[in-house]
Chain A
Amino acid sequence: MTNKTPLVELRNMSIAFGGVRAVDDVSVDLYAGEVVGLLGHNGAGKSTLIKMLSGAYGADSGEIFINGEKAKIRNPRDARRYNIETIYQTLALADNLDAASNLFLGRELVTSLGFVDDDAMEAEMRKIMTRLNPNFQKFHEPVSALSGGQRQSVAIARAVYFDAKILIMDEPTAALGPQETQMVSELIKKLKAEGIGIFLISHDIHDVMTLCDRASVMKNGKLVGTVDVDTVTDDELLSMIILGKHPHQKEA
């Protein structure tokens, strides 16, 4: 790997819910312009791990470094200040609001008088949607009226609109059709080329092998290991997920 300082470094992160050690002493890092895949079965702790980076959960222990400096991320507002944007697995949309209100939630555009400028926000929403999902038309309906794919594209729009430097994508293509999935893949490549660091949580081994530079595998809250995707086969990656065994054994 490079010897530059990583964009993000999560060191020895742990968190427990009641008796469940959802994430147990996990360390991962991410460089600018890099895509790191997070893999593992359901319940392995992937979402919980990235929620500590996005400010949704406070870690029980562990440290976060951004550009080599210790970062204090206590809530989602802190994370946004570090230019961390997140597409949550649950999408985290306010179902009763329309697409533009969700895109700008917490960061509304306002008029010179300080009033929310819905028309300007809708115009921006339309602009970004011509890039992400040209078929999208339901700008005036609450997002509860949208299909799964449309909702996902709203969540993606929210993450890419605000000049993220660090992007977290928790199963961003779960509800998408093949065509839309392809579009997200193109988007990831483009953002990567712009120098953005991306954590990509996915169940699709093929996606991970083609899009990611490295992959970190988790099982039962623990880190199995991190590998360069070029140095492993699909099967080796699969056995890491299923058996929790590191193929090269050197780090385990």
Chain B
Amino acid sequence: MSTPTTNRSAKTFFNKLGIDLRLLGMIGALVILCVMFDLITGGRFLTPRNLFNLSVQTASVAVMATGMVFVIVTRNIDLSVGSMLGFIGMTVGALQVYYFPDIVGLGHWSIWILASIAAIIMGACLGAVQGWVVGYLTVPAFIVTLGGLLIYRGAMWWVTQGQTVAPLDPTFRLLGGGADGTLGETLSWGGGVVSSLVAVGLILASRRRKANHGFTVKPMWAEGILIALAAGLVLGYVYIMNSYTIAKGALPRIAEARGIELTEGLTLYHGVAIPVIILLVVTIGMTLISTRTRFGRYVYATGGNPEAAELSGINTRMLTVKVFALMGALTGIAAIIASARLGAVDVGLGTLDELRVIAAAVIGGTALAGGFGTIYGAVIGALIMQTLQSGMASVGVDAPLQSIVVGLVLVFAVYIDIVYRRKTGA
């Protein structure tokens, strides 16, 4: 039992660190879930293999969830992302299987690049059209994107008359992770060290900037803990991914791909998966956009008070178009990851993803009333959702019960969020 005094000192401790209660709660929930599933499965949950799969499975939904934050912050919703993902995946699959080989030649190195660019542009265009209907024709986003949900799922079928497209381009498939689609051990360590150093540099640079303006800065020990946390998290993750061994059967192939001589008793490790790198880049990029660009500032201003934003000279209609276009582009990236991971596209790809994405954003603290939401929150939200689902699957909970639990958790999480907002007055 904690007395009020220890409660208060704990609060000031986290305040000084600059970590708010919501973030703490989300991390707490994630840790509890992981430990719980690990205990129930007798240590089969927190294994390098499972954590590798978990992070790869999270990537596609998490990428879209970062975009959904902006959509919901501006008081809109996008129900179409699951179908759009399927439509884009199918189109881009058909392009690389039936169309690009005729132009550049089968197995040409440029196919994965062309396919990826096509996916992102297609998503941005579809999103922009939806945003235009919402912003300029003032049809509610709920209706526009509900229409999109039906339209894209139908359009997806037309692309190949319902046939599954396979196999996708081998290089393209690396973007989905798997034994081949990783950075390998050395690159993973290198990337981990570099990104830790960058994080430390950014923390210190921000501190110096604030000090130069004469603002009070966090105490040095708090800064030190933050740095240790950031670097520890990155390097710890790399360490775990670098201790996931590659199966015997895949060894010859991977060894050849990495240019390592295949010897008796050689063990290779996975390293960080490419979709996780994509997610990392998207998360950093979207965080920069949301906190350090005018566009991001206008997204939040418009969500907080649309009238005030308009009176401040912000073109809120155009902003809506841009937000939906960005959501579409991110859906394009998610489509690349999802289709590459499966190596094939069938007409079911992306089904119900819109609900996972919205749930991730909302569990991550995005307020449906608009104005509030963070990128890191949505990513953690996606991770919580995926942990819950994978955990239940590994414990042997059957699919119907999984749905019931996820549904309950979603409603409960939003209730907690409402209580939290009322208490903090935010």
Contacts and interface: CB of A to CB of B under 8 A. Distances in A.
A in complex with B: yes
Interface of A: 54, 56, 75-77, 80, 86, 88, 90-97, 101, 105-108, 110, 114-116, 119-120, 122-123, 142, 144-145
| Range for the number of chain B residues in contact with chain A | 20 to 34
B68 to A, nearest CB: 18
A105 B185 CA distance: 46
A205 to B, nearest CB: 29
B311 A76 contact: yes
Between A88, A94, A105, A107, the greatest number of chain B beta carbons within 10 A of the residue's beta carbon is seen for A94
Contacts of B288: 115
B11 interface: no
B161 to A, nearest CB: 47
Given A80-B313, A96-B372, A122 B213 contact: yes
B281 to A, nearest CB: 18
Contacts of B313: 75-77, 80, 106-107
Given A97-B300, A119-B210, A144 B308 contact: no
A138 B301 CA distance: 19
Given A96-B303, A119-B210, A145 B425 contact: yes
Shortest Cβ-Cβ A-B pairs, 7 listed: A96-B304, A106-B312, A94-B304, A96-B371, A92-B308, A106-B313, A77-B313
Given A76-B310, A94-B305, A120-B213, A115 B425 contact: no
Contacts of B311: 54, 56, 76, 86, 88, 92
B404 interface: no
Contact of A96 (B209, B300, B310, B314): B300
B309 interface: yes
A107 B314 CA distance: 10
Contacts of A96: 300-301, 303-305, 371-372, 426
A171 B371 CA distance: 27
Contact of B294 (A80, A97, A110, A144): A110
Nearest to B308: A92
B297 A108 contact: yes
A123 B298 CA distance: 21
B425 A94 contact: no
Q: By CB atoms of chain A within 10 A, which of B291, B310, B372 has the most?
A: B310
Contact of B425 (A56, A97, A123, A144): A144
Contacts of A75: 313
Given A77-B313, A93-B305, A115 B215 contact: no
A66 to B, nearest CB: 17
A95 B294 contact: no
A86 B313 CA distance: 12
Given A76-B311, A77-B313, A119 B209 contact: yes
B9 interface: no
A94 B213 contact: no
B35 to A, nearest CB: 35
Contacts of A144: 425-426
B292 interface: yes
Nearest to B306: A94
B426 A105 contact: no
18 contacts: A54-B311, A92-B308, A93-B308, A94-B300, A94-B301, A94-B308, A95-B371, A96-B304, A96-B372, A101-B297, A101-B301, A105-B301, A105-B314, A106-B314, A107-B313, A116-B292, A119-B215, A122-B215
B58 to A, nearest CB: 28
B300 A119 contact: no
A87 B371 CA distance: 22
A249 B371 CA distance: 52
Nearest to A140: B215
A115 B293 contact: yes
A118 B132 CA distance: 31
A101 B292 CA distance: 12
Contacts of A97: 297, 300-301, 304
Nearest to A139: B215
Nearest to A111: B292
B307 interface: yes
Contacts of A54: 311
A122 B210 CA distance: 10
A95 B296 CA distance: 16
A46 to B, nearest CB: 17
A154 B314 CA distance: 19
Nearest to A76: B313
Interface in B127-163: none
A80 B296 CA distance: 22
A88 B311 CA distance: 9
A94 B303 CA distance: 8
Contact of B312 (A90, A105, A110, A116): A105
Nearest to A79: B313
A92 B298 CA distance: 14
B301 A123 contact: no
A105 B308 contact: yes
A94 B304 CA distance: 5
B300 to A, nearest CB: 6
A86 B212 CA distance: 33
Interface string B51-65: 000000000000000
B191 to A, nearest CB: 23
A192 to B, nearest CB: 24
A88 B310 CA distance: 13
Nearest to A75: B313
Given A94-B304, A108-B294, A142 B314 contact: no
A142 B303 CA distance: 13
A105 B426 CA distance: 20
Contacts of A77: 313
Contacts of B308: 91-94, 105
Nearest to A77: B313
A123 B311 CA distance: 24
A95 B304 contact: yes
Nearest to A56: B311
B54 to A, nearest CB: 33
B367 to A, nearest CB: 9
